[in-house]
Structure 1
Amino acid sequence: MTRAAVESAWISCAGRRPAATVRLFCFPYAGGGATAFQPWSTRLPANVEVWPVCLPGREQRLFDPAYTSLDDLVRELRGELAGPIAGSGVPVAFFGHSMGALLAFELARALRDNGDTQPSTLVLSGRAAPHHVTGRRLSALPDDEFVAAVQRFGATPAAALDDPELRELCLPMLRADFTMAETYTYRPGPALDLPLTTWSGRQDRGATPDLVEKWAGYTTGPVRHHTFPGGHFFLHADGSVFDALSEDLDRGR
């Protein structure tokens, strides 16, 4: 059994695939968790084994303190995942959406910089290239305004934030995630050398296709871009993302 086949607090398998030729590590968006990627196992070919990344502060890790620094989280992720990635026995790919795209990218850089095994390919979705700074600070808003802003993104079920008890549980994690994404600062460094694919939603006003495509400058490897119908959370609404993802993963093998 390879180390990557062992689940931990940080990674879980969405469905064992004995014939897997690639393991896909999925990094969640702000407020998201591993369960968002569990159904992907049944939507992707049998050669893809899906491993959602379980961040502190949500789901089964609800009472673990959520991170507010992306640098600190990447440092911890590298320590937890470098071994499983190196011992996987098959290529490993990273997928990240929104905040998860930053995590996937910075973890790939941290693995490279420390001489660890790197992912075979990156698929970065719903996030402008890291040098783009919006200047907005939703995380600093009062609770009611912050909740309203988060709900406008459309991913968090309204019931989870309308119910006072659920809201009390969700808010610290949500605010921590938004703080982490909004205070992130890109530090220039050597480009990665691997295939990189970007995804964007045609109606996403925060991560417009032209801003997402600028990730192409962060690798010396081959790049491609997909634009899908929909807004920021197009990946939950358009089934064609799975065909595109299958093609993207094939490029990295």
Structure 2
Amino acid sequence: MGNRWLISPDKQVDRCKAAVILFHHAGGAASAYAGFRHLLPPDIRLWLVQLPGRESHRQGNLCCDGNEAARQILVAIEHEADARLPLVFYGHSMGAALAMQTAALAQHTLNITRVCLSSRRPPHLTAFEQDLLLATDQQVLEAVMQYGAVPEMILSDLEMRQSLIDKVRNDYGVARSLHCTRPELLLREVALSVWGGNNDPGVSLLHLCQWSGYSRGAFDCVLFPGDHFFLFDAQNKSLIARKLVQDFI
């Protein structure tokens, strides 16, 4: 159920105490969060951001402007969620930049209680992504593989491999477009949780701690065992799910 930019695995939720909204990484899609529904309490609504050009939003044109993507996501959330419903945003890598930008736009119209970000430098620092706009396909693949293995199934299928390359090239542009120092990114009394992998080659604990200046609310920073994609480890995923709903249990 849902619209193009926002989908939900929930068939029907009559009453919910809060909702979690998940923003996927560059080159990824909503399916990156497969399994999270079963890790969350049944009275917590789940929505997944789906950027255009992939999965259920396959017919949409790739969007390379992160600010426009954030505006479209906000419209989708406002269409789906009651303004009083407590919301938790969680974004990983590029998704963290999008989650933060969307939260900044939405903080005067929606009830955002916590923003959770992982594997992302704050926007005033140099982004770890390369500028891939003019890169060759091989250079794009090498950039992706630097942060984790690409499944052999994708590498061996020409169509799937090209689709991945196109999405990554686009999404790295999205992430880089959100590099800024604008003061409107400062959240009000919204709690901010920032997480990372202790073996991430591009995002260190020092980077993560510098998110502390982006909210006047509570701040915490935690390192998990793993690399840039530590969240895909089953144990880490379970712990992340608990942290997402810590304010409602």
Question: TM-score, length-normalised on structure 2?
Answer: 0.89
Q: Does 1:170 align with 2:150?
A: no
Displacement, 1:127? 0.4
Name the structure 2 match of 1:40. Answer: 36
Identity between Structure 1 and Structure 2 (%):
26
Q: 5+ residue gaps in structure 1? A: 1-5
Give runs of aligned pairs for residues 100-249 of structure 1, distance below 5 A. Answer: 100-112=95-107, 115-134=108-127, 136-154=130-148, 156-190=150-184, 191-193=186-188, 194-249=190-245
2:116–2:244 CA contact under 8 A, matched in 1 = yes
Name the structure 2 match of 1:3. Answer: none
The whole-number CA distance in structure 1 between the counterparts of 2:2 and 2:75 is 15
The whole-number CA distance in structure 1 between the counterparts of 2:89 and 2:167 is 23
The whole-number CA distance in structure 2 between the counterparts of 1:228 and 1:88 is 33
User: SS where residue 179 of structure 1 aligns?
Assistant: helix
Q: 5+ residue gaps in structure 2? A: none
User: SS where residue 129 of structure 1 aligns?
Assistant: coil
The whole-number CA distance in structure 2 between the counterparts of 1:140 and 1:119 is 38
Higher alpha-carbon deviation: 211-220 or 128-137: 128-137
The whole-number CA distance in structure 2 between the counterparts of 1:144 and 1:89 is 47
CA change 1:88–1:41 in 2 (3 A) is farther
Across the aligned residues of Structure 1 and Structure 2, the Cα RMSD in angstroms comes to 2.2
Give runs of aligned pairs for residues 87-98 of structure 1, distance below 5 A. Answer: 87=82, 90-98=85-93
Displacement, 1:222? 0.4
| Number of residue pairs the alignment of both structures matches | 245
Displacement, 1:14? 2.2
The whole-number CA distance in structure 2 between the counterparts of 1:12 and 1:224 is 29
2:83–2:109 CA contact under 8 A, matched in 1 = no
Q: Does 1:69 align with 2:31?
A: no
CA change 1:217–1:158 in 2 (3 A) is farther
